[in-house]
């Protein structure tokens, strides 16, 4: 099998959390374009349905929408069960759901801290381990987690200690699971995007001045595009990445290089 064939995902089944919009929508589209059947998983079911229909129409693949609270163990288990039942298996997943609360540490409430940790880190543990148990019992698979360059650096000028800590935790969880499952056929990797210009980010008036500051600091002078994350996740989901596990792929336009 040549490298182009190995990069294809024909016959594979997977899901993406936080996939109704933004990065998750973009990676779900990439998986389907590469030949996979995909579940668009999101708490916002209405938008997830529209996204699933859009991807299915564009790619001709089977694409379904599933509502799921990724911080609820029973909900995640039910979601994985539904993916397996409706798509016919589970070969890869992208644990992508996440939030950010910008607040100074001395003003941040414990409830705010826990909300970020639950969505960004605890949900990844639930998603990875529940999906991983299925993969371990059915010949293996690939798990991709969305970390962030914020797990490598402390972002400025915005204060976001909970977000930074959660994403560093995602990277270490990724490595830990990769080592535990290395001989069992389940690969676990993460991607660490830099500042990405999703529709919601670009449309937020209160972020305009921050975006200007980020761009001024960025070696490439701009935000990344969601589409610029597609190639790495398709690679990680497929057979071309058979020896790639426990790695974190920083896609940030060299932002963390200095």
Residue 257 lies in a domain: no
Residue range 46-62: mean pLDDT, rounded: 98
Confidence at 5, pLDDT banded by 50, 70, 90: confident
Q: Is residue 17 part of a domain?
A: yes
Task: Give the tens place of pLDDT for each residue, 201-211.
Answer: 898 888 899 99
**Residues designated as active site:** 148, 163, 167
Domain containing 117 — which CATH number? Answer: 3.40.50.720
Kindly state whether residue 36 falls inside one of the protein's structural domains. yes
pLDDT in tens, 206-243: 889 999 999 999 999 999 999 999 999 999 999 999 99
> Quick one: pLDDT at residue 3?
86
- Provide the number of structural domains found in the chain: 1
Domain membership flag for residue 255: no
Query: What separation in angstroms does the CA of 112 have from each of 43, 106, 148, 151, 173?
Result: 19, 12, 19, 19, 22
Q: Is residue 253 part of a domain?
A: no
Look up the domain containing 156 and give its range.
3-248
Q: What is the pLDDT of residues 94-141, one digit of tens each?
A: 999 999 999 999 999 999 999 999 999 999 999 999 999 999 999 999
Residue at 258 is within a domain:
no
Provide the pLDDT confidence category of residue 4 given band limits of 50, 70 and 90.
Answer: confident
In a domain, 256, yes or no: no
Pairwise CA distance, residues 12 & 36, whole Å: 5
Tell me the per-residue pLDDT of 153-170, one tens digit each, with 9 for 90 and over: 999 999 999 999 999 999
On the CB side of 122, CA atoms within 13 Å amount to 13
Residue 145 domain-assigned (yes or no): yes
Q: Would you place residue 22 in the very low, low, confident or very high pLDDT band (cuts 50, 70, 90)?
A: very high
Return the pLDDT at 55: 98
Reported residue count of the chain is 258
């Amino acid at each position: 099998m040549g490298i182009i064939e190995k990069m294809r995902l024909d016959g594979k089944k997977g899901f993406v959390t936080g996939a109704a919009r933004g990065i998750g929508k973009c990676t779900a589209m990439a998986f389907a374009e590469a030949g996979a059947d995909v579940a668009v998983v999101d708490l916002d079911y209405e938008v997830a349905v529209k996204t699933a229909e859009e991807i299915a129409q564009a790619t001709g693949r089977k694409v379904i929408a599933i509502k799921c609270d990724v911080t609820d163990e029973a909900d995640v288990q039910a979601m994985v069960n539904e993916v397996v039942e409706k798509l016919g298996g589970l070969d890869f997943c992208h644990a992508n759901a996440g939030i950010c609360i910008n607040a100074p540490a001395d003003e941040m409430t414990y409830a705010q801290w826990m909300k970020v940790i639950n969505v960004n880190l605890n949900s990844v543990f639930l998603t990875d381990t529940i999906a991983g148990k299925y993969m371990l019992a059915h010949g293996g698979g690939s798990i991709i987690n969305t970390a962030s360059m914020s797990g490598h650096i402390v972002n400025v000028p915005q204060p976001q200690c909970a977000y930074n800590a959660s994403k560093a935790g995602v990277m270490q969880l990724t490595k830990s699971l990769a080592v535990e499952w290395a001989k069992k056929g389940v690969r676990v990797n993460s991607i660490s995007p830099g500042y990405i210009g999703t529709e919601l980010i670009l449309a937020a008036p209160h972020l305009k001045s921050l975006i200007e500051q980020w761009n001024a600091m960025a070696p490439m002078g701009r935000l990344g595009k969601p589409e610029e994350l597609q190639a790495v996740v398709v690679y990680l989901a497929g057979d071309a990445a058979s020896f790639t596990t426990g790695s974190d792929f920083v896609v940030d336009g060299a932002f963390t290089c200095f």
